[in-house]
Amino acid sequence: MSQHQAALASIPNTNVRRWVEQCIELCQPDHLYVCNGSKTEKQTFLDEGCKAGVFLKLNEKKWPGCYYHRSNANDVARVEHLTFICGPDEDVAGPTNNYWNDKEAYAKLQTLFSGCMKGRTMYVVPFVMGPIGSPFAQVGVEITDSLYVAVSMGIMTRMGDVAWKQLGDGEKFTECLHSVGDVNPERRYICHFPYDNRIWSFGSGYGGNALLGKKCLALRIASFLGQKEGWMAEHMLLMGVENPLGEKQYVAAAFPSACGKTNFAMLIPPKAYTDKGWKVTTIGDDIAWMWADKKNGRLRAINPEAGYFGVVPGTNSKSNPNAVKSIRKDTIFTNVGLVTMDDGSYDIWWEDSDWVAPAKCIAWDGTEWTPGTSKKAAHPNSRFTAPMFNNPVLDAAADDPAGVPISALIFGGRRSKTIPLVYQAFNWMHGVYVGAVLGSETTAAATGQVGVVRRDPMAMLPFIGYNIRDYLVHWFKMRKKLTDPPRVFCVNWFRKNDQGKFMWPGFGENMRVLEWILNRCKGQAYAMETPLGWMPRPEDINLDGLPMDEQAMRELQSINAEDVKSELLSQQELFLKLGGDMPKEMLFQRELLISRL
Ligand code: GTP
Ligand code: SPV
Ligand code: MN
């Protein structure tokens, strides 16, 4: 301990200091470093990382301040089967989470953490989730032996001395203990102890498993806290939309992992819209913390993050020009293709990028790749880590501790069949049902089979940090606090025709759907009543300039009664899981839908 005294003394909060001392004793690092969040510190980390082979500096001209990182090939996505909610009894986890008894989990992980940082440096990373000074901001401290994690947390959160200031001499902070261990999937556990405000993650260096401020704190732990304290932590993007009259509305949208949040949050409207004066701005691309505003009974929200951890493949100046601009500097690229340039410096490449494929490169798994190879150069879940302040359309209120008022809540899944482009729920209670039975095809963001439809309530299936029964009840109860609730919608950008082609152009063109949604929120757009909810007629969505006629729109919006019945049957999956614990409002809503059909 004595060689660590100087670093320990730089931790101003005694509660944190005491906890770090315990972790030193457990993990036995050779060195201790307490992060301050300065620019110099970041550069030192990056330089050290380059020497240690953690990072490769990319060509400074093409990619100023950007670095490449490749994670272990067995460690490229979230691991839902190794993610646990721990507590004294099973009820806290509920039927949709893996449960582990807290005493057993602590005992097992203690053996793994024991001495795991011998020969390594322990980084103490203090961070704030949420704009500084917001009453909803939460402080966390991550202890990690990964330089990649320390640097990434510096981008994704408000990291360093600001966190000590926010915490003061308080004791409410989330203890986040992380080690990459030996990156062995056999010894990989992502454990949450919501009663103890604590996260222990071992054996993975990747994204949601390792950057503990993100899914672990800002969703699993925060959703638990929110239920107790009367607010919500959701897997939602936040965006602002200004119409030609200068009126601004804010939207929150929940789509499952790799189903379009980052793209939607940064969308550039079609030219005819921008010419008229429509503007879209980003508050956040992945997580929203929301509460009922006591002054006016409206839903308000902040983005707890400060960076984007976005899907790289498919990012190009046609699909998402604002993302392309956001990642041109000071960005870390993980598991993309690595290209050696003529002068020996490094470039990167990914599928569906702006650049033609290189003659050869190193693929995400470390092997050589050439254009003929059947595998991908970039892993489908390869990611960029970029500061949100790089975003050219960052909303002026993105850093505002007071948050923004939400007009519309949107739920959306990736569904090649059955689900129409857009409909509106009849009211909040119906909207909660629509969100709760959301189905989506699985993606590469988590390990496991890709492309199978599963129920993903509120796009939160892997992120609800407690019993889903209490989570759904909490959603229904929020209605009481919201005297002026947002309108609730369901969208599906991913419906396909019989030839397997997307029926809707998506991306920037989603503005056309958004226009209808926002007008509905102001009582200014027409809708017809259907069994699912309120739907635009084909003529209610502006199709000008699209190679699409009203007939195509009709097909995109069609509801097939037989398909909806099978959809209802597949909802059984969720209803059976919850059994007698299913909130009765859910049963009522389902009965109403059946009777409408
Ligand atoms: P996470 O970061 O995992 O939470 O994902 P996300 O929800 O932010 O998804 P993202 O915006 O990164 O999009 C994931 C994939 O969906 C990308 O490959 C996009 O190209 C694709 N995508 C996004 N929006 C659309 C759309 O409107 N239409 C179609 N067809 N594809 C889209
Ligand atoms: C997701 O999977 O929803 C992500 C990426 O946003 S991760 O941080 O790995 O969770
Ligand atoms: Mn996500």
486-526: per-residue pLDDT in tens? 999 999 999 999 999 999 999 999 999 999 999 999 999 99
Tell me 446's DSSP state.
B
- Ligand 3 centroid to Cα of residue 593, in Å, is 30
Distance CA 234, CA 213 (A): 14
| Own/partner pairs, 44-50, CB within 8 angstroms, 24+ separation | 45/147, 45/150, 45/151, 45/154, 46/151, 48/147, 49/147, 49/148, 49/151
Q: Report strand pairing: 248-254 vs 408-412.
A: parallel
Tell me 574's DSSP state.
H
Distance CA 586, CA 476 (A): 9
- Residue 1: pLDDT over 80: no
Q: Which residue's CA lies nearest to atom 4 of ligand 1? A: 257
Q: Which residue's CA lies nearest to atom 11 of ligand 1? A: 260
- 176 among known catalytic residues: no
Candidate of 259, 309, 317, 441 to mutate for ligand 1, largest count of ligand atoms within 8 Å of Cβ: 259
Q: Which residue's CA lies nearest to atom 24 of ligand 1? A: 260
Mean pLDDT of the chain: 97
What's residue 422's pLDDT?
98
What's residue 2's pLDDT?
76
Q: Which residue's CA lies nearest to atom 26 of ligand 1? A: 506
Distance CA 544, CA 491 (A): 20
> pLDDT by residue (tens digit) across 189-221?
999 999 999 999 999 999 999 999 999 999 999
Does ligand 2 have an atom closer than 6 angstroms to the CB of 214? yes
Sequence spans of domains, the chain: 2-34+80-229, 234-303+398-596, 308-390
Ligand of minimum distance to the alpha carbon of 285: 1
Q: Give the mean pLDDT of 304-312.
A: 98
| 291 closest CA partner among 481, 101, 499, 468 | 481
Q: Give the mean pLDDT of 27-54.
A: 98
- Ligand 2 centroid to Cα of residue 78, in Å, is 7
Does ligand 2 have an atom closer than 6 angstroms to the CB of 78? yes
Does ligand 2 have an atom closer than 6 angstroms to the CB of 426? no
Does ligand 2 have an atom closer than 6 angstroms to the CB of 207? yes
Q: What are phi and psi of 409, to 5 degrees?
A: -110, 130
- Ligand 1 centroid to Cα of residue 257, in Å, is 8
Would you say the C-alpha torsion 142, 145, 147, 149 has a positive or negative sign?
negative
Q: Closest ligand 1 atom, CA of 256?
A: 7
pTM of the predicted structure, to 2 decimals: 0.98
For domain 2-34+80-229, is the CATH number 3.40.449.10?
A: yes
For domain 308-390, is the CATH number 3.40.50.11720?
A: no
Does ligand 2 have an atom closer than 6 angstroms to the CB of 215? yes
- Residue 417: pLDDT over 80: yes
Collapsed DSSP state (helix, strand, coil) of residue 227: helix
> pLDDT by residue (tens digit) across 481-491?
999 999 999 99
Q: Closest ligand 2 atom, CA of 311?
A: 5
What's residue 380's pLDDT?
97
Q: Which residue's CA lies nearest to atom 4 of ligand 2? A: 257
What's residue 505's pLDDT?
97
Classify domain 234-303+398-596 by CATH number: 3.90.228.20
- Ligand 2 centroid to Cα of residue 562, in Å, is 34
